[in-house]
Every structure is written in C-alpha cells, then in structure tokens.
Structure 1
C-alpha cells in the first residue's frame, strides 16, 4: 500500500535531530564545525604535500634482520663493491679499447664519476684507478703494478704494454670485455653522501644520464646498470604515472556523471576521494616518509576505495531525495544505514595494508603505513565529510527522480512494492538475470563452476615463483634502455652483474690456512658445475692460476698445491678484494648468468648444504653478499611472508565480518568470493610471468581488502531485508537496486581506469594495471553472482536472528515514503 510522499520541507519538519547514534548527532548537529575543521586540515595537509619527496633507498628494499643480510652488514667494510653498485661499460664501436682517443675519453669519464656524490671512492675501479693491477711471473719471480703503465703517453709502445698488463691482470670478463672492445667503470655506492644526507638516486641517475649525453658524441657507447640507475629510470617513468592517474580520475568522473547526470554530486564524490589522497600525501612528509616507485600505486588505490564508498553514499542520498526527503534527512538516513558497512569495509582495507608491516622489508612497511593512512582518512572524507557536504548541496531533482525510475519499474513489475514475501519476477533485463542466481538450479551451477575455477586457479597458483623470472629488470619493458644495457654487459663480459658472494670467516691471520683454502677450492669447483653459474673467483682459484704461471703457463700445473709456504706467498700478493686486511675473512664470488628465482635458490641450497657439512668452530661459510646474495635473502623473506600475510588478511576480514553480521553463514558468503579471486589472481600472475617480490607482494593482499567492500554493501542490505521477513529473491533484488548498481558502477569504472596502465613505459605498472583490473572485475562478479548463489544454501531465514535480536542490533532500519524498508546493516 502506497503512502503519500511528503514534501522536503515536511520531511525536515517531522525529523527529530536528536535521533540516531551519538556519532551521527555529534557530526550532523554540528555540520558547520565539521566542515570548517575538514577545510583547515585540507589546507594544512595540502601544504605539507608540497614537501613530499619521490625517493628510493637500496637499504629499504632489503630485509635488514635476515641472517644473510646481517652477515653482509657485519662485514660490509671488508666487502669491496659487493652491495649497491653501478657498472658503466664504455665501448668503442669503431675498434677496441687499445686506442689513445678511447682511453683519454675513458680517463675523463672515470675522473668525473669519481667525484659524483655518494660514490665509494676507495673502492671504485676502472682501468685508470691505481687499484687495478696486474701480476706476472718473470725470471726474478712475481712482479706487478698498475694496469696503466708508468709513463703512459698513448703511443704504440704504451698501448702494447697496456695490452700485456690487461692480459696478466685477471680483469678480462670483469673490467675488460671478452672481445676487448669495451671496459667497465665499477662504482660502489654509499648509503649517504659526503654531507650525511641519504643518497638521492634520482639526482644520481640524472647525473649519469648527463655524462652519457656528454661523452657519447665523442665516439663511445655507454651502458649503465645497477640499482641506482634502475630506480632513476623508475622515478623518471613515475612522471608518466601521474598522467595515467589523471586519466583514471577523468574516467571515474565521466562514469559517475553518466550514472547520475548530476554535476554537483559527481564533483563532490570525486572531490572527497581526491581530498583523501591530499590528506594521505600530506601526512607522509609530516611523519618523515617519502614516496618511492614501488608505493606510487597507493594514492590511486586510496582514490579507488574512496570512489567506491563515496558513490554508495551519493546513491543512497539521491534515492532518498527522490522519495521526497529533505537533503539533510536523506544524508542522515544514508549515513545511518551505510556507516557501519562502510566502516567495516575500510577497517578490512586498513588491516589488509597493516598486515604488510609484518614483512621485514622497510620499503613494504612504509607502503603499508602510507596505505593505512590513506584508508584511515577515507573514514573522515568519504564516510563523514561527503554526506555532510551533500546535506548542504543535495542533488539535482531530475537526477534524484531518474535514480528511482528503474527501481519503481522493477518493484511495480514484480509486485515487490507490496509486502509479499513469495517468489516474484523482476522486470526483464540485467536484474532478472542476476535474480536467477538466488534459485537452486542457477545457484548450484554457479557453485560448481566456481569450484572448478577455484581448483584450476589453485593448481596454477602453485607454480607461482618467488623473485624475478626474467633477466634484467622486470619492472621495465624488455626493450627499455636499461634492459638493453644489461643485455649488452651480459653478452660482452660473459657474465652478468649478478654476483653472489660467500663469506668465509676464519680466525685472524687464518685466511690462508691450507685446510680452509682447500675447502674453498672444493666449494668453488662444485659451484661451477651448477646451472646458472658462469664463473667464480677466490683466493683458492688465484693459487691455481699463480702455480700455472710459475710453470710457464702449463695447464698441467693448474692445481691446488698443498704447500702452506706457497699459499702464504700467494696470499701476500693477492688483491685485497679476495680477503680482508686482518686475514680473517675470505670472499668467494660467484658470477651468475641471471638473478632468476630458481638460479638463486639452487646456489643458496648448495652453499647451505656445504656449510652444514664443512663448518667448524673456527671456520664458517656465511651467506650472502653481492647483488644476487642480497636478492636471495629478499626472496626468502618474501616466500616466508607470502602465505602468512594472506592468512592474516583473511583472518582479519573474517573477524570484522563476523563482528558486523554476527553470523558465520554470512561470513562464509562474504569471504568465499574473495578466496576465489585470490586464487585466480595468483594464476594470472603465473600467466603474466610475474614473480612475488617487493614490488608485487602487496597487490594481492590489497585486492582482498578492496574486494570485501563490494560484498559488504550487498550482503548488509540483503541480511537486513531477510531479517524483516523478505524472501532471498526479494532481499537480493532490493540490495541490487539500493547498493548493487553502485557496485557495478565502481567495479567497471575502476577496472577501465587501471586497464589504461597497460600503455605505461614501466612494465611493473602495466602488469599491476592488468592485475588490479582483473581483481576489481572478479570481486564485483563475486559479489553479484557467487554471493547470492552461496546465500541460497546458507542464508536460510530460520538460521538468521530476527531484526530485533541482539545479533541484529547493528541493522538500523527506517521505513521511508513509498512503503518499503530502505535499510542496510
């Protein structure tokens, strides 16, 4: 039976401002104060956001408390260049390096690199640095000296001496290319510059590019690799990310306007979400944080979550105004109905981000803090500020009436406008199709298909690898300048820049002991047999080479001589990179073909097994230094954290859903679609060739938090209607009309927004765009299709507490003009 629809003025006159919860009364009865406070906070944090730095740190991307990293940090001073370093290959495209003009260019470039901020100058090496030496055998015994001969003048005789010195230096394949057409400037970096400030990787990368632009016109080709250059390229690409962010905002604005045809409500929804981003970006520098390339997606995720919640609030207010309510009453009723569901969803998001704090990698922890801050401010901007703003502005009357046309037609066609509780037939179209999933036949088929998809997704997800799966930098395109430089160095030098160093700790003065070096020699031989290992270098290997040299280069003498006096003699003249000054640490460097996850895992397993069998009280084989060693430790931490993180995220979501719904059946209905999406998203990562690493680890966890929003909004309305005596078909239909339309709108809008990222020059962002679009759509489909199918079997009216029971006290209902309960938990 239809009741008379009151005028907005009558609606406001009949409304008791003392009704509602304490929070609602405190906010809406003091609307002007709330707006003033929000405006002041926005101005303050907007000013703070102008001080936000885009930066990165090598130290923040490594697990500082892992035993391997602890070993590396404990001996860092004795490990020359086995941490964060840049390699600059200078090639002569018209000849070889034995060219006076090339060598002069190399000298000038080496001198300029030496003076760059953050360079560890004592450890830097090139053909022109005094630390680059040769060792040879003469009639008088072992001799040596700097590779660049004394009195070098660029003439034929000097170049001939240089050729001989390089041949005797052992640097071919290290500093000198195998074909002799290029040489490397090896540049270890410090965590801080000379003034004690953190190294600015973006500035350093810009300086390296400036040197490339300066010297390449002089007839050389320059190839640069290393963490600093990679981060510099990522930061450069991040400037393009801002364009994609703007495009996503434009798409979201257009889609919301297309749905509402109301300028003021569209502007307010987008503005509230952007305000949340401003607050988040302003809080970061206030707390001493910076934004790095791996957390650049966080502001967009905050915007996306904000749009989802904001559109729900706007839609509820628009419908109530269409029914004749005053805009203030509509805002308060919408706040009353949806605040708890929205708060639960945002808390689930925040917990999903906060769980990342358990991962012992500073970059991920800072991402977790930044994302949690962003979700936290959404409680104020989109759950509180937006309804208050709409209570002042209202919405376009035409838009308000338009929002109810589909609903009115559906209710009239189905007879659901009455208090009937039986089966009904919604109008033809999408609503009719979705309603079928509440029926046994379609629900059974949906569960079977979902189970098959889940099983296939889980089976494929077991192939998900930890770490990088491709050579070079998978964050960048395969044809990027950086990855072309990596390919050049790998080809020209016979080994990549991926070095895994094993530290052999001995008593002071014991690094040359026969027993110790014999074990190092044995391990070195075993490592060279492993797939993925190109070569090795150690004091034991130097002994073999020296013995061969002392016997006219006869390969029969390529042997490890069990003679302590001989070992002591060779050690005395050995480069310090092979052992430290106190002769208490040996370094066994393993040069790998790549840093793929399987390659690193194979070497680590072998070394650990060898150490377990050969360690003594005095001699310990320790992992790991070098770029590949550090990455191996990172992979181990990520692998240990992956499953634990997902379990904790789901535990938090389950707990929050149970607190909200007070029904284990409702929790299962809400969570199972998320589990399916997780399996399928991991399977998609396998198909895309993505490994789980620092850059990708947070994304699946975030997908769980974001995805639960959709389920919460639809399930909260469905449960309230069921507790009021409606059938599942009626309850689900009303949920679709009230919140389901917006779930579809936001799911499709956000998926379209992020799918544009496939055009990004940063492959990491392109891959994340595909992954996020997939999760937005599948979470939406799960909420619209799998949720009602599960509800058919689990949400039986007899199993649900009535509306007035303690289990349902969170369901705040309010009968509105039109004769139906427009409520949600």
Structure 2
C-alpha cells in the first residue's frame, strides 16, 4: 500500500537543499558559479564564432572511399577535363564568332581567366589556347596546327582560315556552339591555389561575376556553369536565408510570449536557445570546420530544438509558481521532473545527427558533427542554465496564474476546454480504434507512394536552385547550344603499358560505345575508337562506306600518335571513353552505370579493365550509390538508438511502441511527401530524413513521461492523459506550430532545396505533434490501459522504475498535492 504523498515545499526555508539527485544538488547549490562559467564560455565561443567562414569544397561533396571515386582519384592527374571545372560560354548576340571584335573580347577574357588564382592553367582550354588544335587530310597527308591561325590579324582571310580550322578541329559541339554564335572557355580548378591556400569558391565566384559584368558591357553575353559557380550562387542565397533565420527567431519569440504573456521568461527561453547556437558556431572554427550551404540549416535546427525544450522548462516553473511555490523551489522541481525526459530527447536528437557519420561523404559528416555539437550545447543551456536563470528571475505573477487557468477552472467544476475534450476522446475505445485504423490506412498509402521515391536529382540543371535562376538558365543555354552536355560520365579503360592502341582493346571500346549510344539518355560519345572510324573515313575522301573499325594495327598506331591526349594518357596505358548524357537524373545514371558494369563483367581481362567513373555525372552516380546504401542503414540505426533510449527512459516495451509507432508513420508520410514534391534522396535531403525521427521523439517523451507517472499514481488513462496535456501538452502544441510556421517561411528562399526543406520540416514538426496528441493516447488505450481502475497492467508496473511518493507528488502536481 502506498503512503500519502509528502507535501511540496513552497519556500526555501522549509525546502531541504540536500534533496534531489547529486546532479541537481551540484548545480542548484552552486547556481552563481554555473551562471558565471556559462557567461565566460559564451564570451569565448562568441569571439571564436567571428572567425567562422562560409565556403564549400568539391572534394567534400564526393564519397571519397567509393570504388568509382577511388578509380577517379587514382588517374585524376591523367584525365583531362573531368574534375572540378567551370564552363564559360561567350556568345555574340549580334552575329557569329567570326567577328574580329568578338574574338578580341574572347582573347582578353581568356587571358584574365588564365591568371585567376586556383585555375589549372595547363588544362585550361579555349579557342585561344595552343592546346586547341585541328587535324586535316590534305593531298600531302595529315596536317594540323592551332585553331587560331598563325598570323591572325582579324582580316576576312584570317576569319575564313579560322572557320576552316574549326570545322576540322572536332570542337564543334564541344567548345564551339552548333550555331557558331558562341564558344566555351573551359576552366579546370585546383583544390588549392599556388600559395597552398584552399580555393575560396565564394571569392572565385565573385571574380567570375565581375568578369561577366565587365565583358557584358562590351556587347557579349556570358553564361557560366560548374560547381564553383553553383556554390557561389548558393552562398549568395545563404545570406538571404540568414534573414529567414532572424524571422524564425522573431516568430518563435512572439508565439512564446503570446502563450506566456511573460516578457522575462520569453526572453530567457529565446536567449538560452541562441546561446546554444553561439556555442555551436564558436566550436566550429575552433575544430577547423566551416559552414557550407548544406550545413547552414543546422543553427536553426539547434535553435528550434532549444525552443522546444526551453518552453517545457519555462512552463513547468510557471505552473509551480502559480501553485504558490518559491521560484527556486519551482525551478528545482521542474528540473527534477523533466531533466531525464529532456536529456533522453536531446540524446535522441544527437543520435539522429550522429548516425549521419556512417555516410561516406565529408560534407554530411561535418554537418553531423556540427549538429551534434549544437545538441550537446543545448544540454547545458536549456536543461541546466535556463532553469537556473529562471530560479533567479522567476516569472510574472499574472503569467503564472494564467498558466493554471484551466486547472483552476477544473477545481471550480467548470467544463473542460473543447480541445481537451476532443483529445480526451482518443483515450476511449471508439476514437482510439478510429485513430489507429486511420494511421494504418495512411501508413499503407504513404508506403505505397514512398516506393516511388528516387535516389539523386530528379531535375535537369542544378536542383539546389530554382528553375528560373540565372545558373539554371545558363545550363539550359549550354545544353541547347552545344551537342556535348555538361553531364559527362567518363569510363576509364586500363591497359598494359603502351597497349592503349591494341586492336582487341579498341574493338571492345568501340562495341561498348555503340551499345551506349542506343541507351535512352545518352546523346553522344567520344573515344579513340570513334576517332579511328572518323579518320579512316576522312582518309578515304569522306566516303561513309569507310566509316568502319578495321583490324589494321598500323592504322591504329598512326591515328593514335596524332590523337588528342584527352583520349589517352602519355604512357598509353589508359583510355577514356566519354559519355555525354541528356541530364543527370537518377534513372539516366542508373541505366548507363548498370550497362557499363555488365559489360565490364563480361569483357574485363587480366590486362584490360573497364573502370567507372569520372566526370560530373560519374561522380554523381557514385554519390547516388552511397546515398542509397546509407539511406536505409541510417534509418535502421536512428530507430534502433531511439528505441534503446526510449526503453531506458520508460523501462516498458509497451511504452516504447506507443512512442515509436507515430514516428514511423511520420517517416513514411514524409517520404511520400518527397515523391509528391518531386524530391529525391540525396546529400541535401538525407539529413532531414534522419532529423525527423530524432526531433519527433521529443514530443512523445514529454507526453508519455507525465502520462505514465500519473498512471502509476493511480489515475486512469483519461485523467492521466489530461494531466499530461495540461502540464506538457500545451507546450508541445505551441512548439510544433511555432516551429512549423518558422520553417515554412523558407519557401521564399532563392535556394530551392532549402525551400523544399522548409516544407518538409514544417510537415514533420506538425505531424509529429499530431502524432503525440492523437496517436499516443490511442495507442496507449490498447497498450498501456490499466486492467483495473487506478493502475497499469501488472507487466507495465513491474517494468517501471520505483519512485518515491514525494517524487510522484512533484510530478505534474495537482491542486490536491500542492497544498492549495
């Protein structure tokens, strides 16, 4: 038989400071020291945060350990035009490229680009670079030379010679437009400049924009594509996103104040959450990290999580003060009630981020580290510092009384609020059955739709930006004007030393090339085998009957000797087969990669091997494979960790099911929403999928922890859930709606993937909140409902940790236990 609950102390005079856990005593008995230490840390890390830079790295966005990337890195120095590069198309809007004024502008622009820091000058290519050459068949045999003729002076004769050279260069569709109205300057980039400094993409993109503005004033149109320019545009967009972050802070502040009507507590909750952001941003440069466009969302998520937990602490203190407790006692009791639930929830958040470390992409791993640092900071700022600060400041007396308005009305016999009456119905069999059935139907429908979720990009151009962005318009111009797409997948063919021209090897390359050209999505190919076909026809007066690949080794050797080095390397032990794709959509990449892998299995020998992959499309194909493998593994790990943490908190497998099943429904529906929004699983979206699980468990932990404590105290499910709604449920709804409103403003972002993330996160915040409000009581009806009035099932009681009666009295104190 349980003894009567002990009275709750109202003033420090009758409160024993030696009560509570060791952690509570260490913190609250030395409050001033804790505040001073936090202030010092905030000042130091705030100063460190001023050193944080915003940049990106091409190497960090690729899965460095994947076999495709390992092959690419092994031969990177011998591959031409297949790494990190920008393509700059210079168009003449008033004529063709055979214009002396246009060619002079092109020359000067090419020279300026050549001198920019970070440019791989040996590999740069334009009409004016000596490496751009022509080869032709004359009566005297093969002849060649630079495309720009010797002694070029802009005269009609020189322009006529230039046109002849371009026609024989094979560059039409490569660096010369099909309509001859523009040419491309190909600018490969180094990871570090000549001084050894990491290439600043933001600075490089600014240089490009300055050159665009300068030469556009001279009558040409300039279109720029490539990773460096994309990152520059993303960084520009990120600066706009910072305004959305400020807007989200304002919205959260207004919503919390609207709920509390207490200025001091509202400011403290917001301040504590912002301090965690400062700590996070301060730790990043200390550990050698930078912010990039993919991790720019993390500070907001840390702030959002902090607001959720901070509002719970503030609400608990406010209610206890309203019951007549001293502010210090109220702060300690709230800490005692909610610290374990808050700590478990934050650990679940941290696990949601930490599992991203299994993904072999450095930019995601750095995001995981940054987010984990932020969550660790929240343990100190929101679970510890905030209650201590509130123990000094207290809350407004009017706000405290207002927080108990519903409870006071109950004590007076007034009717319950209509919303509480509605939610309470889900603890009854009829509505619980309806809710669970609806969840099952939604889950099945969502799962059916989610099976159509694709891996990788689903749109042409850069899906990170909007379709009408300048970058994507430039991509569209390139694709329309040049036969060779910028989406290039390169297949490396490794041969014995000096064996790249052997007939058997080139014959296999020729066969693979023909097969690839039959695939949907492949627009063109290029290789040494194709050059041999063209040269044979050219040496035969252009007769198409001779467009053939002949078993003539002398002929192959002759053609190879004069072939561009981009088709093979200096040691003649590596051939490159270029595959120009219509786009880089997931289906296109998968189709081509699967075909090449099947061909390699059937045709590889000990000496000759077909290796994937280089080029922008090849790297993206490898990234898609890594993301696909990590996707389900990540969800398995995060759910496994959350299950373990929930079991530690509740010690009941039934309670774990009640907490986890709504999260699983949210995950399924979020994937279905991604299908509806045309989003694929990729580097930008993968973290959000894991995040939905980590943040979603917060709501369940707060609702269930109070509900189960009330069940143990002898309440039936309806009354226990009602007490949970009054104590934590109101704040769960507040934070869910507030955070959803904050992130949905991102739809106005110029960065499309951030706009998509705003919609996805808003959905997750709202749906996790609804799951906590509706599905948890419905599932509890079937899994946690007591077999007899006033108690849990015997198994659930046996599995729950024993608590003192005094702690039960403190947990969600009611009028009868607070001495009112």
Residue 223 (structure 1) aligns with = 223
The CA deviation string for residues 464-520 of structure 1, in whole angstroms up to 9 with x for no partner, is 000000000011010000000000000000232000000000000000000000000
Match of 2:809 in 1: 814
CA-to-partner distance for each residue in 1:48-90, whole Å, 9 max, x for gaps?
0000011100000000000000000000001012011100000
Q: 2:298 maps to what in 1? A: 298
Q: What value does the CA root-mean-square deviation take over the aligned residues?
A: 1.7
Q: Could you say which residue in structure 1 is the equivalent of 2:210?
A: 210
Cα deviation for residue 810 of structure 1 reads 6.4
Q: Secondary structure at the match of 2:808?
A: coil
Alignment of 1:108-127 (within 5 A): 108-127=108-127
Deviation at 1:562, TM superposition (A): 1.0
CA distance 1:820–1:57, shift in 2 (3 Å): farther
Taking a change above 3 Å as real, the CA distance of residues 786 and 157 of structure 1, as seen in their structure-2 partners, is same
Which consecutive residues of structure 2, in runs of 5 or more, have no partner in the other structure? none
| 1:724 to partner: Cα distance | 1.1
Would you say the 8 A contact 1:276–1:381 is kept in 2? yes
Q: Is contact 1:723-1:800 (8 Å) kept?
A: no
Alignment match of 1:584 (pick from 561, 573, 576): 573
Structure 1 contact 6–817 (Cα < 8 Å) conserved: no
Aligned to 1:443: 432
1:797 deviates by 2.6
Who is 1:634 aligned against?
A: 623
Query: What secondary structure does 1:682 align onto?
Result: helix
Deviation at 1:805, TM superposition (A): 6.2
Residues 557-576 of structure 1 correspond to what in structure 2 (within 5 A)?
Answer: 557-576=546-565
Deviation at 1:360, TM superposition (A): 0.3
Aligned residues: 808
**CA drift at 1:813:** 2.3
Deviation at 1:410, TM superposition (A): 3.2
| 1:415-426 matches, cutoff 5 A | none
Could you tell me which residue of structure 2 aligns to residue 267 of structure 1? 267
Query: How far has the Cα of 1:802 moved from its partner?
Result: 9.3
Residue 688 (structure 1) shift: 0.5
Question: Which residue is 1:730 aligned to?
Answer: 719
CA contact (8 A) 2:11 2:326 kept: yes
In structure 2, which of residues 510, 516, 523 is the aligned counterpart of residue 527 of structure 1?
A: 516
Shift of 1:7: 12
CA deviation string 1:688-738 (max 9, x = no partner): 000111111100100110011001000000000001110000000000000
For residues 119-171 of structure 1, what are the alpha-carbon distances to aligned partners after superposition, in whole Å with 9 as ceiling and x for unaligned? 11100100000000000001111111000000000000000000000000000
Q: Name the residue aligned to 1:707.
A: 696
Superposed displacement of residue 819, structure 1: 4.1
C-alpha change, 1:595 and 1:406, in structure 2 (3 Å) is same
Q: Give the aligned partner of residue 255 of structure 1.
A: 255
Q: Distance in 1 between matches of 2:413 and 2:700?
A: 27
Compute the TM-score of the two structures, normalised by the length of structure 2: 0.97
1:223-242 correspondence runs (5 A): 223-242=223-242
Report what 1:659 is aligned to. 648
Q: Which runs of 5+ in 1 are unaligned?
A: 415-425
Q: Does residue 744 of structure 2 align to residue 751 of structure 1?
A: no
SS in 2 for 1:12: coil
Q: Distance in 2 between matches of 1:306 and 1:725?
A: 33
Paired residue for 2:488, among 479, 499, 507? 499
SS at 2:800 equivalent: helix
Residue number in structure 1 paired with 2:669: 680
For residues 736 and 803 of structure 2, the distance between their equivalents in structure 1, rounded to whole angstroms, comes to 26
CA separation of 1:82 and 1:239: change in aligned 2, threshold 3 A: same
CA contact (8 A) 1:237 1:762 kept: yes
Q: Secondary structure at the match of 2:491?
A: strand
Name the CA distance, whole Å, in 2 between partners of 1:436 and 1:54.
51
**Aligned pair partner of 2:749 in 760, 765, 770:** 760
User: 1-side partners of 2:569 and 2:412: how far apart?
Assistant: 86
2:7, 2:817 within 8 Å by CA — same for their partners in 1?
no
Whether the aligned pair in 1 keeps the contact of 2:205 and 2:232 (CA below 8 Å) is yes
Superposition map of 1:175-186 within 5 A: 175-186=175-186
Q: Distance in 1 between matches of 2:93 and 2:23?
A: 73
> Counterpart of 1:773?
762
How do residues 341-420 of structure 1 correspond to structure 2 at under 5 angstroms?
341-413=341-413
Q: Is the 8 A contact 2:8 2:817 kept in 1?
A: no
The corresponding residue for 1:690 is 679
Q: Aligned in 2, Cα 1:459/1:818: closer, same or farther, shift over 3 Å?
A: closer
Contact 1:12 1:325 survives alignment (8 Å): no
